[in-house]
Amino acid sequence: MDISVIVPLYNEDESLGELTAWIEKVMNENSFSYEVIMIDDGSNDNSWDVIEELTSKNKNLKGIKFKRNYGKSAALNVGFEAAKGDVVITMDADLQDSPDEIPGLFQMIKDKKYDIVSGWKKKRYDPIMKTIPSKFFNWTTRKMSGIKLNDFNCGLKAYKLDVVKSIEVYGEMHRYIPVIAKWAGFAKIGEKVVSHRERKYGVTKFGLDRFIKGYLDLISITFVSKFGKRPMHFFGLMGTLIFIVGFFSATWLGIEKLMAVYNGVRAPLVTSSPYFYIAIASMIIGVQLFLAGFIAEMIGRSSSTRNSYLIEKRIEQ
């Protein structure tokens, strides 16, 4: 099979018929063998009824329904597990992503050998309250990840099948799939300018809380990508440094007290100094961080999948 198209959706019953007809037209014009997997993320409108009707008429359409709304990342992850096409393409169901971009994305994966091609909505039809935060979000992600993409959050992306079978998407991590893929060893990431259309049906699911969650997830994925396989390098180092600061601070207070006693100078109790408690707290926190790194390292080393990501291919006789 050439292409799997994954369409996560939430309350998009009005657009589904038009979207599937458009995808079918593009696939037939280019003689692609394909499947369309629609994941209903707990919609409370008639989306699932529409999907059932559409799948009964088109053998290339498949539907998956969630019990409740779990989010786009969960929908994409389930879609990735179900996909069978050589190239996997994701797009939103609101008709703002154009299926006419599919042949170009497919060609970049198959002919130019990209692992991932991310769409770039260079000209957008979104309100300014969405576009300005998005620009800042993309700039921050570029700086932290080192991946030179202009639009990390574009729903229109193409992947080699190996990529989607090698990664797991959860939380709000769908924004960082290129970062997760790079961490997994898929470093050839490209970008294609794609058309963006005004929303024709329904209302946007955008909310400012997405950016708060997005930045928390960015910190999480950055930490995991750098220290996920060697937690002792982070926790152990931080714990050791903090312990040393506390230890030498406590030692200095003790020496200062002994020098005062030796010289017959009346000195206050060591415990009356706030620096004593800061020193003790630093040593306790340092030990806790060191032990956290040690325990995490032991857990990681006992994992049966610790080094599975290293292997790309294997030949056995």
- Kindly tell me if the per-residue pLDDT of 271 is higher than 90: no
Q: Rounded distance, CA 90 to CA 154, Å?
A: 10
Cα three-residue angle 172-175-178, rounded to 5 degrees? 130
Residue-wise pLDDT tens digits, 115-131: 999 999 887 766 666 66
Residues 6+ apart with CB under 8 A from 58: 20, 24, 36
Q: Where are the domains of the chain?
A: 3-227, 231-310
| The two structure tokens encoding residue 291 | 């032990």
Q: Rounded distance, CA 4 to CA 26, Å?
A: 13
Cα three-residue angle 166-314-118, rounded to 5 degrees? 30
Mean pLDDT of 143-158: 88
Q: Is pTM beyond 0.85 here?
A: no
Q: What is the DSSP string of 38-98?
A: EEE-S-SSSHHHHHHHHHHH-TTEEEEE-SS---HHHHHHHHHHH--SSEEEE--SSS-B-
Q: Rounded distance, CA 67 to CA 112, Å?
A: 40
The CATH code for residues 3-227 is 3.90.550.10
Cα three-residue angle 169-172-174, rounded to 5 degrees? 50
Instruction: Write down the pLDDT at residue 260.
Output: 83
How many angstroms from the chain centroid is the CA of residue 146? 15
- Kindly tell me if the per-residue pLDDT of 202 is higher than 80: no
Q: Residue 144: which of 174, 184, 171, 182 has the closest Cα?
A: 182
What is the DSSP secondary structure assignment for residue 202, as one 8-state letter? S
The runs of H, that is alpha helices, within the chain are 16-29, 47-57, 72-82, 102-110, 128-145, 161-166, 177-183, 209-227, 231-262, 274-302
Residue-wise pLDDT tens digits, 151-170: 888 889 999 999 999 988 87
Mean pLDDT of 174-182: 88
Which tops the pLDDT comparison, 279 or 234?
A: 279
Instruction: Write down the pLDDT at residue 28.
Output: 95
Contact 290, 243 (CB under 8 A): yes
Q: Give φ, ψ of 4 to 5 degrees.
A: -115, 125
- Range with the largest mean pLDDT of 197-201, 268-272, 281-285: 281-285
The answer to which of 15-24, 133-142, 244-253, 279-288 has the lowest mean pLDDT is 133-142
How many angstroms from the chain centroid is the CA of residue 189? 15
Q: Is 272 exposed, middle or buried (0-12, 13-18, 19+ CB in 10 A)?
A: exposed
Q: Residue 180: which of 309, 87, 47, 39 has the closest Cα?
A: 309
Instruction: Write down the pLDDT at residue 307.
Output: 46
